[in-house]
């Protein structure tokens, strides 16, 4: 007994020591953050500096302080669209801001709708007689969509401009699945619902190829039109059609070719660019020549917060994959969002709700839970307006069924009204290693769906019926909310993805417009003046540690490389996205309303901790 008591006392002592060390480490870290000297070049008048060394997203992912402290956090710097627009709106009428600077050297892109909104805000800056200057070592589709709206575009002398347009390869796993002996059971409705094709085919089906070509063509047409309108003298069409055409006349120089085509205005390194900005914004005495006076985005937002008070309109953000249960920001948890909506309704201080959607879908049950919460707000007399961002497809479109009015942009990706389920079983895989499964059954569904012995005909028919039932619900929901005949909805559904322009013609959306337009419409429906509105972004509270680290994420230097390395890494990211999609399919849920063709602007997470591994992860890891 004494031995047991002594061991227990030792364990308690170790526990207390670890707690004490953690507390000391925390307060030391807190002191370091609070007492750290601010950047001597920041927080000044002159220029608003948008150094976008990460992606633009609808909603930033939540930082896990535990992973950050252990150096394992996969979340890098992200820039929230609403923050950028708020800063540009304030800078437009701020006499102390003389210019806006776009540093796009490490820019990791964003959805086309989000970038078009920023571009319109930059146009308003120029209309206020404030120049916009852009700099990068290389311009791609995303970065150039912003830079084209600058007053001056600067390119590093060792850089280039390269425009690829939408498209590229996608991974298909059918050959690997056959080699491993995995039996993939697919339950689907809609001939265009192609999310499952990478697991059942080695290439695109003709239907999926036709739909994808139409979607990519519409988005690319919008991009070219936007850029051509912003820089009418630039030879955009010729440069895109023949990237090598002007090289001979430019002596083989990629930068000179971009300059001669009118794509950029100046060639110069960062120091030369800084001197140009300093001539407008004023020089900075704390550094060498080329430094200029500026305010960084986070500092400027802190000094110019959004309006508070007045008539409140709640903004509900549905961003990222729609998943069951609770989820952090950047992922749309059905329980999380519905509880946020119901909590806001309980306060009874909102005049209307606007749901901002940037999601390719996910769990059908989570999407319905969010829709029901919004429908509850509408039943209480609050106007509900849906605002589509880059993507509002499948489960993301499902949610709009609760809205009084739906706004989209021509470049929004939407539709994908279809349902599928996918379930892998491993009977043939296990048999290769001499492992079999057997047991007793009392009903046709006993032990089904059986991952190790395979599904039976009853289970397959039952799961297919479940998919068809949810698809029928989806069609009825769209028919009722859009006031369209059920037969017509059936024709335009089938899992096909549409661009916003076509979706409006089909009656899937009501009008073109931004989030601002949706808020103004919600105010009119609530019979209040749009000028009296203050926006309240409804979201869960962040932990103290997460908010402490949010603005101090160390940005990876991977973006600050030559243009060719960046091009290669973008293709690597597409491959990783395919693997991520495969994992999402295997992890479930079994029945999903998700869009394969719909891109995500969020970066991939780098790794999963061992405790996060699912059964599928462990089986695949064991097989490999």
Instruction: Name 314's bridge partners.
Output: 353, 536
DSSP class of residue 612 equals G
DSSP class of residue 305 equals P
Alpha carbons 586 and 185: distance in angstroms, whole number: 11
Taken in order 304, 308, 311, 312, is the CA torsion positive or negative?
A: positive
Q: Both tokens of residue 313?
A: 């309109």
Q: Both tokens of residue 390?
A: 């880059």
Alpha carbons 306 and 613: distance in angstroms, whole number: 41
User: Strand, helix or coil at 301?
Assistant: helix
The secondary structure of 343-380, three-state, reads: HHHHHCCEEEEEEEEEECEEEHHHHHHHHHHHHHHHHC
User: Strand, helix or coil at 313?
Assistant: strand
CA distances from 64 to 30, 336, 444, 550 (A): 16, 17, 44, 10
Q: Both tokens of residue 534?
A: 């203050």
Helical axes 112-127 vs 81-92, angle rounded to 10°: 10
Q: Which residue has the tokens 């930082």?
A: 63
Neighbours of 251 (CB within 10 A): 8
Alpha carbons 439 and 171: distance in angstroms, whole number: 37
Q: What are phi and psi of 81, to 5 degrees?
A: -55, -45
Q: Please choose, from the candidates 275, 378, 322, 303, the residue with its C-alpha nearest in 3D space to the C-alpha of residue 592.
A: 322
Alpha carbons 245 and 123: distance in angstroms, whole number: 31
Alpha carbons 334 and 497: distance in angstroms, whole number: 23
Contact 66, 74 (CB under 8 A): no
Instruction: Name 592's bridge partners.
Output: 363, 420
Q: Please choose, from the candidates 110, 99, 132, the residue with its C-alpha nearest in 3D space to the C-alpha of residue 52.
A: 110
Alpha carbons 332 and 431: distance in angstroms, whole number: 39
Q: Give me the active site residues, please.
A: 193, 394
Q: What are phi and psi of 246, to 5 degrees?
A: -95, 5
Q: Which residue has the tokens 């995995």?
A: 182
Contact 192, 393 (CB under 8 A): no
Q: Please choose, from the candidates 50, 250, 272, 76, the residue with its C-alpha nearest in 3D space to the C-alpha of residue 149.
A: 50
Alpha carbons 112 and 356: distance in angstroms, whole number: 16
Q: Is 71 exposed, middle or buried (0-12, 13-18, 19+ CB in 10 A)?
A: exposed
Q: Both tokens of residue 161?
A: 């401009």
Contact 417, 401 (CB under 8 A): no
Q: Both tokens of residue 532?
A: 């009296």
């Amino acid at each position: 007994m004494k031995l047991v008591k002594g061991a227990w006392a030792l364990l308690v002592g170790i526990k207390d020591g670890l707690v004490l060390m953690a507390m000391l480490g925390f307060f030391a870290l807190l002191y370091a953050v609070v007492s750290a000297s601010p950047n001597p070049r920041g927080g000044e008048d002159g220029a608003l500096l948008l150094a976008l060394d990460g992606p633009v997203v609808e909603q930033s992912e939540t930082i896990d302080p535990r992973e950050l402290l252990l150096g394992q956090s996969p979340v890098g710097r992200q820039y929230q669209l609403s923050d950028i627009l708020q800063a540009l709106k304030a800078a437009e009428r701020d006499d102390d801001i003389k210019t806006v600077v776009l540093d796009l050297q490490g820019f990791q892109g964003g959805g086309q709708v989000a970038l078009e909104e920023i571009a319109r805000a930059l146009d308003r800056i120029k209309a206020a007689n404030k120049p916009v200057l852009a700099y990068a070592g290389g311009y791609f589709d995303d970065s150039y969509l912003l830079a084209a709206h600058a007053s001056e575009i600067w390119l590093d002398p060792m850089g280039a401009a390269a425009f690829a347009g939408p498209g590229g390869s996608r991974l298909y796993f059918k050959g690997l699945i056959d080699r491993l002996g995995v039996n993939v059971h697919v339950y689907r409705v809609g001939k265009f619902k192609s999310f499952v094709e990478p697991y059942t085919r080695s290439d695109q089906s003709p239907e999926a190829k036709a739909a994808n070509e139409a979607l990519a063509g519409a988005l690319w047409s919008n991009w070219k039109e936007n850029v051509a309108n912003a820089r009418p003298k630039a030879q955009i069409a010729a440069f895109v059609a023949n990237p090598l055409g002007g090289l001979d006349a430019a002596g083989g120089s990629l930068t000179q070719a971009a300059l001669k085509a009118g794509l950029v205005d100046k060639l110069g390194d960062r120091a030369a660019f800084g001197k140009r900005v300093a001539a407008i914004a004023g020089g900075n005495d704390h550094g060498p020549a080329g430094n200029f006076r500026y305010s960084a985005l986070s500092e400027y937002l802190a000094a110019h917060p959004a309006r508070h008070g007045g008539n409140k309109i709640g903004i509900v953000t549905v961003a990222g994959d729609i998943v069951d249960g609770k989820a952090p920001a950047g992922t749309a948890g059905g329980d999380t969002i519905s509880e946020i909506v119901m909590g806001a309704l309980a306060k009874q201080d909102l005049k209307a709700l606007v749901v901002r959607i940037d999601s390719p879908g996910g769990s059908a049950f989570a999407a319905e839970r969010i829709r029901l919460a919004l429908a509850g707000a509408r039943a209480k007399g609050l106007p509900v307006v849906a605002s589509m961002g880059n993507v509002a497809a499948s489960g993301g479109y499902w949610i709009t069924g609760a809205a009084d009015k739906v706004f989209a942009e021509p470049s929004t990706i939407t539709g994908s009204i279809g349902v599928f389920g996918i379930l892998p079983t491993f009977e043939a895989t296990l048999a290769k290693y001499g492992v079999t499964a057997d047991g007793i059954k009392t009903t046709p569904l006993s032990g089904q769906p059986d991952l190790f012995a395979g599904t039976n005909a009853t289970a397959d028919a039952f799961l297919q019926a479940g998919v068809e039932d949810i698809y029928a619900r989806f069609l009825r929901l769209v028919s009722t909310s859009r006031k369209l005949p059920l037969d017509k909805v059936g024709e335009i559904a089938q899992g096909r993805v549409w661009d916003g322009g076509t979706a409006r013609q089909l009656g899937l959306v009501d009008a073109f417009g931004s989030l601002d337009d949706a808020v103004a419409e919600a105010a009119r429906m609530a019979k209040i003046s749009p000028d009296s509105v203050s926006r309240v972004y409804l979201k869960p509270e962040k932990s103290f540690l997460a908010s402490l680290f949010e603005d101090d994420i160390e940005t990876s230097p991977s973006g600050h490389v030559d243009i060719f390395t960046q091009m290669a890494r973008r293709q690597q990211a597409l491959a990783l996205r395919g693997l991520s999609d495969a994992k999402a399919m295997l992890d479930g849920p079994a029945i999903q309303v998700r869009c394969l063709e719909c891109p995500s602007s969020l970066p991939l997470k780098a790794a999963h901790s061992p405790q996060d591994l699912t059964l599928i992860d462990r089986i695949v890891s064991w097989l490999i």
